[in-house]
Structure 1
Amino acid sequence: MTAILHKTKGIVLRTAKYGETSVIVTIYTDKLGLQSYLVNGVRSGGRKSGNKAVFFQPAALLELVVYHNELRSLNRIKEFKFSGIYQHIFSDVIKNGVAVFLIELLHKTLRQPEANEDLFGFVEDSLLALDVSDATVTANFPVFFAAHLCGILGFSPGIPSAGLFHSPQLLLDLQSGEFAETPPSHHFYAGRELTLLLVELLQARLPAELKDMKLSAHKRNQLLDLLELYYSLHFPEFGRLRTLPVLREVLG
């Protein structure tokens, strides 16, 4: 089967060295879904290659022309350039830490190569918003992104009914993804305070609304632990988020 040329946008998820000068880069594309590409000569440092490695940093937003053969697990890129140029994400330690966390969470939850333009748009818009956000929004961005990604992937708990919302016994069963008033037989559930914070995150439609959420570092960490557990219960082999300890460090 002959490879066909496609134009697509992409978000770089991971880059691994290959040989002396090449890389294998994993990219989430809007038209082809999750794809891997072999890119030659980007690490040679010669006059021809310039500094092409900068295009393949995690979270980079690219416009691509790619060769695609669906029978191959590794294809090639014909042309690449930035589709959006960040002002801060690659230079600011805190924003880069947040961006890399978002990228790891996305990578861990992508199980099929199929395209999902809604998901791609959400991630692209989130990264662009993060790049220009203030300190408060940046600090709250990881929990906002993780909460809303659940919805796009189809396992969000949603919003509790009015009766449950006002119940002093409100809780979220993390295993079933349902709100309740009676604790389940297992220990995977969140109490009223954290449940209401999660609902508040789900009710925020735009990252700018995070400016009004005055979360302490302790509450943010509790929510991050809660969301990591929630994902691990709904995604086999999810494991632990390797970027989470780094994120805690940069957010203080």
Structure 2
Amino acid sequence: MIVRTEAIVLRTLPYGETSLIASLFTRAKGRLSMMAKGARLPGSRFGGTLQPPSCLQVVFYYRPTRELQTLSESSFAQYLPELGRDLEKLTLSLRMVELAHALLPPEEPMPEFFETFWQVLARLDATPTRAWNLLPWFQLRLAAALGFAPRIERALVEQIGPEGGELALASGQVRPRSADPEPTQPASRAALRAFAFLARTDPDTALRLHLNPSHRHELLQLTEAYLHHHVPEGFPTRSGRVAERLFETLRPGS
């Protein structure tokens, strides 16, 4: 069966002397592994398309009994030039694709989340400021797509005082500190309110959020802890550590 669809490149690995194995999140079939024969040869028909987090139009041969599909064609479907020039944006996008590669189920179409992912990469490329807001926003959309959206109750969020509160890791509830024995992540009021805000808003509104470096670092710790609690096995940490170091060095207005 020949399939033509849009895809986001999540990861590539060399195979043999001339080929690549690519992990692609496709609109039509979900996350798939594909063989790109000859992709490493000079003048390959794939050109430079198979680099994370490229957004592509692809053609591949699909057989449901195979774990590795065969990629036939790939071309850019949307250009993301700033992701290649801006270290902050590149780091954020690579964390997104790393999480998607590790956590999305194979061969399970998720068209709504695919559209979310496609659009957030475009916004990340285009935004002149506060690009970092889109990583925790994306992480919370990923949690929702995987079936564990945070349970935000406005009344509890408003009860959090200056002393801070906690994120209940099982439910995603943001609340004042309590004696509940379930696992929690303590945080400042500003970081917890930001978590609740991002869980319920759209990406354009998310870009208006302003936090100081300390609170943005706390926010990233909250979203990472929440995802890790629900999918501890295979949870990727490499680019997450890079993102944390980046957040610590960002200037206050960025």
TM range (shorter): 0.7 to 0.9
Aligned to 2:238: 242
Q: CA RMSD in A?
A: 2.0
- Would you say the 8 A contact 1:171–1:183 is kept in 2? no
Greater shift, 80-89 or 230-239, is seen at 230-239
- CA drift of 1:105 comes to 1.5
Equivalent residue for 2:91, pick from 53, 75, 97: 97
Q: Is the 8 A contact 2:2 2:62 kept in 1?
A: yes
Task: Name 1:34's counterpart in structure 2.
Answer: 31
Q: Are 2:84 and 2:90, in contact at CA under 8 Å, matched by a contact in 1?
A: yes
Partners of 1:112 and 1:190 in 2: how far apart? Answer: 34
What is the DSSP-based 3-state SS (H/G/I as helix, E as strand, rest coil) of the residue aligned with 1:244?
Answer: helix
Counterpart position of 2:6: 9
SS in 2 for 1:199: helix
Superposed counterparts of 1:81-230, under 5 Å: 81-136=75-130, 138-162=131-155, 164-168=156-160, 171-181=166-176, 182-191=178-187, 193=189, 194-206=191-203, 208-230=204-226
Matched length: 243
Deviation at 1:180, TM superposition (A): 4.9
| Cα offset, 1:191, TM superposition | 4.4
Aligned mates of 1:125, 1:143 — CA distance in 2? 15
Per the TM alignment, residue 58 of structure 1 is displaced from its structure 2 partner at its CA by 0.8
- Given the alignment, which residue of 69, 74, 77 partners 1:75? 69
Q: CA deviation at 1:72?
A: 0.6
2:188·2:215 contact (CA, 8 Å) conserved in 1?
no
What is the one-letter code of the residue matched to 2:118? E
Aligned mates of 2:140, 2:27 — CA distance in 1: 21
Gaps of 5+ in 2: 250-254
Residue identity in the other structure for 2:235: G
TM-score (norm. length: structure 2)? 0.87
Query: Are residues 168 and 79 of structure 1, via their aligned partners in 2, closer, same or farther at CA, if it must alter by over 3 Å?
Result: closer
Q: TM-score, normalised by structure 1?
A: 0.88
Question: Deviations along 1:125-150, whole A, 9 cap, x unmatched?
Answer: 000110101122x1222122112322
Query: Which amino acid is the alignment partner of residue 198 of structure 1?
Result: F
Q: CA 1:94–1:172 in 2, change beyond 3 Å: closer, same or farther?
A: closer
CA distance change for structure 1 residues 148 and 190 in 2, over 3 Å: closer, same or farther? farther
Specify whether residues 121 and 218 from structure 1 end up closer, same or farther in structure 2 by C-alpha distance, changes over 3 A only.
same
User: Which residue is equivalent to 2:252?
Assistant: none
Alpha-carbon distance in structure 2 between the residues aligned to 1:93 and 1:53: 23
Instruction: Please state how far the C-alpha of 1:179 moved relative to its aligned partner.
Output: 4.5
